[in-house]
Amino acid sequence: MKRVGIIGTGSYVPEKVMTNFDIQKFLDTSDEWIYTRTGIKERRIADKDAATSDLCVEACNRAMEMAGVKPDDIDLVILGTITPDTHCPAGANWLEAKLKCRKAVSFDVTAACSGFIFCLHVAEKMIQAGANKMALVVAGEIMSRVVNWQERESCILWGDGAGAAIITETDKGAHILSTHIHTDGTGGETLLMPGGGSKTTPISHESVDKGLHFLKMIEANKSFKVAVNRFVEACEEAVKKNGYKIDDVDVIIPHQANLRIIQGMAKKLGTPMEKVYMTIEKYGNISSATVPIALDEAVRDGTITKGKLVLLTAFGGGLTWASSLIKW
Mean per-residue pLDDT, 31-59? 97
Q: Which residues are catalytic?
A: 113, 255, 285
What is the three-state SS of the chain? CCCEEEEEEEEECCCCEEEHHHHCCCCCCCHHHHHHHHCCCEEECCCCCCCHHHHHHHHHHHHHHHHCCCHHHCCEEEEECCCCCCCCCCHHHHHHHHHCCCCCEEEEECCHHHHHHHHHHHHHHHHHCCCCCEEEEEEEEEHHHCCCCCCHHHHCCECEEEEEEEEEECCCCEEEEEEEEEECHHHHHHEECCCCCHHHCCCCHHHHHCCCCCCEECCHHHHHHHHHHHHHHHHHHHHHHCCCCHHHCCEEEECCCCHHHHHHHHHHHCCCHHHECCCHHHHCECHHHHHHHHHHHHHHCCCCCCCCEEEEEEEECCCEEEEEEEEC
Residues 183, 55, 35: CA angle, nearest 5 degrees? 70
Q: Which residue has the higher pLDDT, 305 or 204?
A: 305
Lowest mean pLDDT among 34-48, 81-95, 143-157, 302-316: 143-157
Lowest mean pLDDT among 48-62, 150-164, 219-233, 270-284: 219-233
In the chain, the amino acid numbered 42 is: E
Identify the structural domains of the chain with CATH numbers, from first to last. 4-173 (3.40.47.10), 177-327 (3.40.47.10)
CA distances from 176 to 117, 247, 310, 319 (A): 11, 19, 10, 24
Provide the pLDDT for residue 219.
Answer: 58
Residues 110, 115, 118: CA angle, nearest 5 degrees? 100
Q: What global pTM score does this model have?
A: 0.95
Q: Which residue has the higher pLDDT, 317 or 235?
A: 235
Q: Please write the tens of the pLDDT for every residue from 173-191.
A: 899 999 999 999 887 777 7
Provide the pLDDT for residue 185.
Answer: 87
For 106, other C-beta atoms within 10 Å of its C-beta total: 22
Q: Please write the tens of the pLDDT for every residue from 72-126.
A: 999 999 999 999 999 899 999 999 999 999 999 999 999 999 999 999 999 999 9
CA distances from 206 to 121, 146, 193, 201, 326 (A): 40, 17, 15, 11, 48
Mean per-residue pLDDT, 122-141? 97
Chain-wide mean pLDDT for the chain? 93
